[in-house]
Amino acid sequence: MERGRDGALRRVFEPPIDFVPASEALGRLLASPDLTLRREVASVLVLLAEAAVKAGPALVAALGADGEDQQVRADCARALGRLRPPPEQAIPALREAARQAPEAVRFAAEGALRTLGAEKE
């Protein structure tokens, strides 16, 4: 399951997260200083969004982080759009991203808001 030059995705499933629910562990990994790892984790959370409810607060935080990579932020927006129910702060964070984020993030946030049936405002 190794992906990328440094096996970033493989590291997601190695200790020290053996006994922690996967979605919480993935959420914590969004704060990693390793950009490749953050990109991989955000992509995985898009695919596993329904199981990522506990990572919701981390998704919201990464979406709103101005210094974060645009791909990571866009994937976080897409994952938030798939969460049912969405975290309490998801809609406000998506609206903010739809208003002020770079284009790729804005587009993903707008799509997530449409998926959630929320107005862009």
Could you give the CA distance from residue 56 to residue 119 in angstroms, rounded to a whole number?
20
Domain ranges of the chain: 8-116
Q: Fold for domain 8-116?
A: Leucine-rich Repeat Variant (1.25.10)
CB 9 within 8 A of CB 39: no
Could you give the CA distance from residue 30 to residue 38 in angstroms, rounded to a whole number?
5
Q: What pLDDT sits at residue 9?
A: 53
| pLDDT tens-digit series, residues 29-57 | 999 999 999 999 888 887 776 566 778 88
Residue 18 pLDDT more than 60? no
Structure tokens at 67: 């210094």
CB 21 within 8 A of CB 56: no
Could you give the CA distance from residue 23 to residue 56 in angstroms, rounded to a whole number?
9
